[in-house]
């Protein structure tokens, strides 16, 4: 009984330590703390007391105090875990890894504080902090894993191919449409609403934010309104085309799933041929708008449509448990489009942002896969919870979340993003982590949805912070 009670408390201690270390990693990567280093070149404390008249000195003092408190928390966490017999060997190994890096981190921090010339110490200091964070989150993932979890289930045989629809039925599919409202205005509203649903509008706001962040990172305060309007316009059309083709290609599986059984093509509200034509028109319009920006943006926009419609929908989603991981490239492409729209090339900040989106996708979508596990199984999709089980999926969510936070810290280190970005990724990252820890404990549908919404909030706020900080530089 004692061991059972201590598990949640120790997991909370691990999570708190990980958040504290992440705070220091992000703070050390931002320009504000880097500038503050020049105001305090002594260690372990600054030679002058903090004062509101010198903000850099105040920031430096805050960073030193926070580092001391987090250091005590990490040592207490490691001591607690290493001395308990109820803690598994894997968790202890991860804690030992973090503990070994701790004194190295202290030495490197002293070198960064006392050496003003450019040197390799800041990068090494950042990487060591990331290593400590990785060790703590890995320990947390193993600590939260159920005691009775066995070996992962072997991947089942591929789902049998859906039987092809006979030509006669295919013809009737296009002709058998549900009755429309009697009023002309109501009919028009119904049909327009059906076409609008084909475009998957709920995806648009987040993907447009991704493109906006990519543009802001590439252009800074010089971002032109025309570029923003054309890029987002082309992006909305590309998202609409991708969503439309997805509706068409998955219509048979959609009918089997409660979540998607009311989609316009699956319910014959719109004929297949009309939906295909609509998707082609949106594709052509998207490419035409992107061409007003530049050729690279147009090529990337068309690639995004083809990747989501063909590679993800037809190849990955129905055939491999890694569909969500590889499919994350579809959501990452808007970051590259935003960067290309401004510069005509794909720069390092754009690639880093795309990397953040790519690794965030599994941490985000696996929550939805947990909530709709039975639905996906009925549809014949080999999603992670269906193939590997819920416990493995929850562990992967935490590991991908940790990877996302590290990638976000790396983006902050390679750009001039400041305190708005640092506060956002730390604060909302902690909320996301809290939701995932609760998911491990509660293991129900509401907890999965809570983590899903937390992931949306994290990325949405992070992208807004990027725009704010980049445009303010």
Kindly state the average pLDDT of the residues 82-106.
93
Cβ atoms of 81 and 139 within 8 Å: the answer is yes
- Collapsing DSSP to helix, strand or coil, 130 comes out as helix
Instruction: Tell me the pLDDT tens digit for each residue of 68-87.
Output: 999 999 999 999 999 998 89
**Helices and strands: H and E segment counts in the chain:** 19, 0
Q: Are residues 120 and 44 in the same domain?
A: yes
- Is residue 310 domain-resident? yes
Instruction: Tell me the pLDDT tens digit for each residue of 118-146.
Output: 567 788 888 999 999 999 999 999 999 88
- Is residue 154 domain-resident? no
The reported pLDDT for the residue numbered 171 is: 41
Kindly state the average pLDDT of the residues 253-263.
91
Cβ atoms of 313 and 265 within 8 Å: the answer is no
Could you say which of 114, 144, 174 is where a domain stops? 144
Distance CA 277, CA 235 (A): 19
CA neighbor of 87 nearest in space, from 152, 140, 137, 17: 140
DSSP 166: P
Give percent of the chain with pLDDT exceeding 90.
70
CATH number of the domain within which 272 lies: 1.10.600
Residues in the chain: 473
- Is residue 173 domain-resident? no
Q: What share of the chain is helix, strand, coil (3-state, %, to 5)?
A: 80, 0, 20
The reported pLDDT for the residue numbered 155 is: 44
- Collapsing DSSP to helix, strand or coil, 389 comes out as coil
Instruction: Tell me the pLDDT tens digit for each residue of 274-307.
Output: 999 999 999 999 999 999 999 999 999 999 999 9
Q: Are residues 348 and 206 in the same domain?
A: yes
Q: CA dist 79 to 3, 88, 193, Å?
A: 16, 14, 59
Residue 202, judged by CB atoms within 10 A of its CB (0-12, 13-18, 19+), counts as exposed
Q: Which two tokens stand for residue 158?
A: 């591929």
Instruction: Tell me the pLDDT tens digit for each residue of 13-61.
Output: 999 999 999 998 898 777 555 566 677 778 888 878 887 777 777 878 8
Return mean pLDDT, the chain.
87
Taking 90 as the threshold, does the pLDDT of residue 235 lie above it?
Answer: yes
Could you say which of 86, 114, 144 is where a domain stops? 144
Taking 50 as the threshold, does the pLDDT of residue 172 lie above it?
Answer: no
Q: CA dist 248 to 143, 242, 365, 395, Å?
A: 43, 10, 22, 33
Taking 50 as the threshold, does the pLDDT of residue 313 lie above it?
Answer: yes
Could you say which of 144, 166, 199 is where a domain stops? 144
Count structural domains, the chain.
Answer: 2
Taking 90 as the threshold, does the pLDDT of residue 331 lie above it?
Answer: yes
- Is residue 325 domain-resident? yes
Cβ atoms of 39 and 51 within 8 Å: the answer is no
Q: CA dist 419 to 28, 75, 234, 439, 470, Å?
A: 11, 27, 32, 30, 11
Taking 70 as the threshold, does the pLDDT of residue 179 lie above it?
Answer: no
- Is residue 343 domain-resident? yes
Select the more confidently predicted residue: 183 or 179.
183
- Residues spanned by the domain of 377: 189-472
Cβ atoms of 467 and 213 within 8 Å: the answer is yes
The reported pLDDT for the residue numbered 330 is: 94
Q: Could you report how far apart the first and last alpha carbons of the chain are, in Å?
A: 55
The reported pLDDT for the residue numbered 168 is: 39
Q: Are residues 228 and 331 in the same domain?
A: yes
pTM strictly above 0.85: yes
What is the gyration radius of the CA atoms in the chain, in angstroms?
Answer: 25
Distance CA 472, CA 372 (A): 41
- Is residue 328 domain-resident? yes
The reported pLDDT for the residue numbered 148 is: 61
């Amino acid at each position: 009984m004692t061991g059972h009670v201590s598990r949640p408390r120790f997991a909370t201690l691990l999570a708190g330590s990980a958040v504290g270390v992440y705070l220091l990693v992000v703070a050390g990567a931002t320009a504000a703390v880097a500038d503050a280093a020049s105001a305090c070149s002594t260690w372990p404390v600054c030679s002058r007391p903090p004062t509101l008249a010198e903000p850099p000195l105040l920031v430096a003092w805050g960073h030193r105090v926070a580092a001391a408190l987090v250091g005590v928390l990490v040592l207490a966490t490691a001591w607690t875990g290493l001395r308990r017999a109820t803690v598994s060997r894997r968790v202890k190994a991860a804690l030992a890894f973090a503990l070994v890096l701790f004194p190295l981190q202290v030495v490197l921090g002293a070198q960064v504080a006392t050496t003003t010339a450019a040197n390799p110490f800041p990068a090494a200091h950042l990487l060591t902090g990331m290593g400590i964070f990785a060790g703590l989150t890995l320990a947390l993932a193993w600590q939260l894993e159920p005691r009775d979890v066995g070996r992962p289930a072997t991947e089942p045989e591929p789902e049998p191919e859906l039987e092809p629809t006979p030509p006669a039925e295919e013809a009737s599919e296009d002709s058998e449409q549900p009755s429309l409202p009697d009023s002309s205005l109501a009919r028009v509203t119904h049909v327009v609403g059906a076409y609008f649903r084909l475009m998957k509008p709920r995806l648009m706001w987040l993907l447009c934010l991704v493109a906006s962040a990519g543009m802001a990172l590439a252009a800074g305060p010089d971002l032109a309104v025309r570029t923003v309007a054309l890029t987002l316009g082309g992006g909305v059309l590309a998202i609409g085309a991708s969503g439309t083709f997805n509706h068409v290609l998955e219509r048979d599986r959609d009918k089997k799933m409660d979540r998607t059984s009311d989609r316009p093509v699956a319910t014959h509200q719109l004929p297949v041929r009309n939906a295909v034509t609509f998707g082609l028109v949106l594709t052509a319009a998207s490419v035409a708008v992107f061409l007003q920006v530049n050729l690279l943006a147009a090529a990337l926009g068309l690639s995004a449509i083809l990747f989501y419609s063909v590679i993800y929908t037809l190849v990955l989603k129905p055939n491999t448990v890694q569909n969500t991981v590889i499919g994350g490239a579809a959501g990452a492409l808007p970051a590259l489009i935003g960067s290309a729209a401004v510069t005509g090339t794909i720069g390092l900040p754009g690639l880093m942002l795309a990397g953040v989106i790519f690794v965030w996708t599994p941490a985000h979508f696996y929550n939805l896969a947990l909530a709709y596990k039975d639905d996906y199984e009925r549809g014949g999709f080999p999603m992670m919870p269906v193939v590997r089980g819920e416990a493995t999926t929850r562990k992967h969510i935490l590991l991908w979340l940790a990877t996302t936070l590290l990638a976000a810290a790396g983006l902050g280190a390679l750009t001039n993003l400041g305190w708005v970005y640092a506060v956002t990724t730390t604060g909302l990252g902690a909320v996301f982590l809290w939701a995932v820890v609760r998911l491990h404990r509660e293991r129900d549908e509401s907890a999965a949805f809570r983590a899903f919404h937390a992931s949306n909030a994290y990325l949405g706020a992070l992208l807004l912070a990027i725009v704010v900080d980049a445009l303010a530089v």
